[in-house]
Amino acid sequence: MDESGILNLVNVEFDVEKTVMGQEEEGTFSKLGSTISKLFGGEDKTDEKQGDEKPSEEQITKDAANNTQQNESAKETKKEGTPALNDTVEMKNDTSKGKPMKPKVVTIKEPIKGSEKVLTIPSLTKEQFSQSQEKLKKLDDVEKEAVRRASALNSLETFVVDVQNKLSEDEFSEAATEEEKEKILASCSSVSDWLYEDGSDADAETYEKKLDSLKTETNPLFARVWEHHERPEALSALNSMLNHSNHFLNSAKNLTAGVDPDKDVFTDKEIESLAKIIQETEEWADKTIKSQNKLKKYEPVVLTVKSITDKMGVLDREVKYLVNKLRLWKPKKEETTDKPKNQRKRKEKEDVKDEVKLRVTVKLTKQLL
């Protein structure tokens, strides 16, 4: 297999192991005797081949002399105690016959002719491609539906348990009547029993409808609890805005033409409009707070958080309008006339005081924004 993961065929070979019966290796003395025997055997064969031909007189004389020498050397060898060659061969045969044959494992390898063919994935036809797309779409739809069903089931179970636990808390229990609590608990118990019986195999749409029905039934209770929980913070923000608006109004009254012709930032109508909105907001807050305090927590809410934010929005728009006007206002250029030094110093002090007042006013308005 190469680096790309493609399998290549290098060669094909037949490899098998075979057990055969073998003999022990010959010793050094036995090998020497066998070599000499083969030597003499080769000479005999040569003599047999030459026997067919007519030997000459000289050759006959030489052969006779050689045979005489060989016989004499053989006799001397026997006298010295060295065994003859024929005796050595016989001894080897007798020894080999007495010992058992040992098995040997022989590996046989034979090359085999092989061929290689590269296989690839054929391209899909238009019909096969469209069928594959449809199958993938069906699988995606099945997976999405399974996820939707699991999510809907989990949401329904969680909501039922959450409502049952919350109704045991004082914050929720005080905001609902006895009849309302019994009705909600009965609905939760009914849905819980249905989930573990007939509803265990229901689809996602059925779970979602059950959840919407429970939410519709419990929304009035949860809304009252939310109003009681968020109202104190909303009233605190309204009171803070009213305080800053009153401070800004007091500073803005000094920036009119009737008070200081040189600093006519606001008109009297604008000041009256802001004062009217502040007064109406304060009167409305006092009235609705008293009305809300007389009600029980399970009764309909009179002072809602939305009504508070609406009043704050009206006041905020009016104040922002005046603040932006103050930022864009520029003092009128004064005509240069010769004035005594005392008057110029007095005028400079007054300008410094006015500048301080303006900075304080702008700082307060930034807090409102």
At 192, which CATH number?
1.20.1270.10
Residue 43 has pLDDT above 60, yes or no: no
The per-residue pLDDT for range 285-309, each reduced to its tens digit, is 999 999 999 999 999 999 999 999 9
Whether residues 221 and 234 fall in one domain: no
pLDDT at 50: 47
Whether residues 279 and 219 fall in one domain: no
Number of alpha carbons in the 13 Å side-chain half-sphere of residue 159 = 24
User: 33 in a domain, yes or no?
Assistant: yes
**What is the spatial distance between Cα 319 and Cα 242, in angstroms, rounded to a whole number?**
11
User: 117 in a domain, yes or no?
Assistant: no
User: 5 in a domain, yes or no?
Assistant: no
The pTM (predicted TM-score) of the whole model is 0.58
Provide the domain count of the chain. 3
Region 265-273: mean pLDDT is 89
The per-residue pLDDT for range 73-90, each reduced to its tens digit, is 544 444 444 444 444 444
Whether residues 211 and 258 fall in one domain: no
Q: Which of 81, 112, 143 is the C-terminal boundary of a domain?
A: 112
User: 4 in a domain, yes or no?
Assistant: no
Whether residues 142 and 177 fall in one domain: yes
pLDDT at 354: 58
Number of alpha carbons in the 13 Å side-chain half-sphere of residue 216 = 6
Task: State the residue for tokens 């110029």.
Answer: 344
Task: State the residue for tokens 């304080």.
Answer: 360
Contact call for residues 153 and 200 (beta carbons, < 8 A)? no
**What is the spatial distance between Cα 325 and Cα 270, in angstroms, rounded to a whole number?**
11
Residue 363: band (very low, low, confident or very high) from pLDDT cuts 50, 70, 90: low
pLDDT at 327: 85
Percent of the chain with pLDDT over 90: 45
Whether residues 190 and 299 fall in one domain: no
Nearest to 161 by CA among 192, 190, 182, 194: 192
User: 3 in a domain, yes or no?
Assistant: no
Whether residues 294 and 309 fall in one domain: yes
**What is the spatial distance between Cα 274 and Cα 127, in angstroms, rounded to a whole number?**
75
User: 122 in a domain, yes or no?
Assistant: no
Whether residues 205 and 275 fall in one domain: no
Contact call for residues 368 and 248 (beta carbons, < 8 A)? yes
Other beta carbons within 10 Å of 185: 14
Alpha-helical runs (H) found in the chain? 28-51, 57-80, 85-98, 126-166, 170-173, 178-195, 204-252, 268-293, 305-328, 341-368
- Per-residue tokens: 184: 């909600």
Query: How far from the centroid of its chain's Cα atoms is residue 228's Cα?
Result: 42
Whether residues 255 and 360 fall in one domain: yes
Query: Which of 185-189, 259-263, 269-273 comes out lowest in average pLDDT?
Result: 259-263
Whether residues 298 and 333 fall in one domain: yes
**111 three-class SS:** strand
**What is the spatial distance between Cα 186 and Cα 167, in angstroms, rounded to a whole number?**
12
Higher pLDDT, 253 or 365: 253
Whether residues 132 and 171 fall in one domain: yes
**2 three-class SS:** coil
User: 78 in a domain, yes or no?
Assistant: yes
Q: Which of 53, 88, 112 is the C-terminal boundary of a domain?
A: 112
Nearest to 277 by CA among 237, 236, 305, 248: 248
Contact call for residues 14 and 111 (beta carbons, < 8 A)? yes
**What is the spatial distance between Cα 98 and Cα 321, in angstroms, rounded to a whole number?**
130
Burial annotation 167-178 (CB, 10 A radius, 16+ → b, else e)? beeeebbebbee
Whether residues 354 and 283 fall in one domain: yes
Residue 107: band (very low, low, confident or very high) from pLDDT cuts 50, 70, 90: confident
Mean pLDDT of the chain: 78
**What is the spatial distance between Cα 211 and Cα 202, in angstroms, rounded to a whole number?**
13
User: 119 in a domain, yes or no?
Assistant: no
Task: Kindly report each contact of residues 266-275 with a partner whose C-beta sits within 8 Å and lies 24 or more positions away, as own/partner.
Answer: 266/322, 266/325, 266/326, 270/322, 270/325, 273/318, 274/245, 274/248, 274/249, 274/318, 274/319, 274/322, 275/249
Q: Which domain holds residue 286?
A: 230-368
Whether residues 189 and 142 fall in one domain: yes
Q: Which of 190, 225, 260 is the C-terminal boundary of a domain?
A: 225
The per-residue pLDDT for range 45-75, each reduced to its tens digit, is 444 444 444 455 555 555 555 555 555 554 4
